[in-house]
Structure formats: C-alpha cells, structure tokens
Amino acid sequence: MTRPITREGYQKLQEELDKFKKVERSKNIKDIAEARAHGDLSENAEYAAAKERQSFIAGRILDLEHKLATAEIIDPAMLVSDKVVFGATVALLDLLKGEPRKYTIVGEDEVDIKNGRISHSSPVGRALIGNKVGDVVTIKAPAGEREYEIQGISFGE
C-alpha cells in the first residue's frame, strides 16, 4: 500500500531518518557506554533510560524507513483538476460564522493544523475530496456539523 506525500513531506521524513541514524543513534551509544562505566547495571537508572532510548530510536528508524519505502510522492504543482484532490489548497467559507478558511490536503505525516495543512484521511479532508468550487460540504466534527462552501481550489502553493 502506497502512502501519498508531497515532495516537501518526503524530504522532512528523510531528514528525520538521517538525524536518527547519524546523530541520535551514535549519541545514544555513547550514553550507554557512559552509563555502563558507572557500575552495577541493575540499579543504574541512566543505563535503563539509555537502553529505553535505544529501543525508541530503533523503532523510529524502522517506522521512518517503512514510510519512505511506501511513499508515493505527489507534486501539487503538476496537478490540474477542477475537483479537490490530494495536494490541493482549498479556500472555504464557513457558512455558519461567515469566516474564510484555507486548507491544504496533505499526507498523514505532514499535518500542521496551525498552518492549515490537513490530512487527506481526516474527516475534513475526506469530506472535501472530490468536490468542486461552489459545492457546499457538510463536515461532521466533534463539536457538531459544519457547512463550508468551496470558493477556490489551487495547486502548488
């Protein structure tokens, strides 16, 4: 199963993987060696913490490698569609409050709510995908249903 991701999102995951492999793992090895030098390992909290960190680092490296291996890079600048699709930036009008909103549909690892980047698999993302400018979309959220009118769709922003 492939996972859609933007080139920017892919690059960030690659940078995180490099950091864990080249910086975090070697620092952790030094931390373990230093903790071992303190003596009895059965009562050594520093050693236990370093070993726990080692496990976390190994797991995160495997997770990142899997995400990168199954990633399908999608370049929004190359997309042309009159419908909301992965990579689209969607201008909306909240019909209840009359407030404009703008969301970019991205992969799960790229979500940044503060900057309007939402997952294609989120309730909002799923509700928007496939709709056109002028469509009114009802989104079910924990706070209740909200209606938004799609006012614009753009790519590569």
- Which helix (H) or strand (E) covers residue 7, if one does? helix 7-19
Topology of the domain comprising 3-73: Helix Hairpins (1.10.287)
For the chain, give the percent of residues with pLDDT over 90.
74
Using CB atoms within 10 Å of the CB of residue 97, give its burial: 0 to 12 exposed, 13 to 18 middle, 19+ buried. exposed
Reply yes or no on domain 76-155 having CATH 3.90.1150.10. no
Lowest mean pLDDT among 40-49, 81-90, 101-110, 125-134: 40-49
Read off the tokens for 12. Answer: 């960030």
pLDDT score at 157: 60
Mean pLDDT of 17-29: 95
For the chain, give the percent of residues with pLDDT over 70.
97
Reported as a single tens digit per residue, the pLDDT across 63-99 is: 999 999 999 999 888 888 899 999 999 999 999 899 9
Domain locations along the chain: 3-73, 76-155
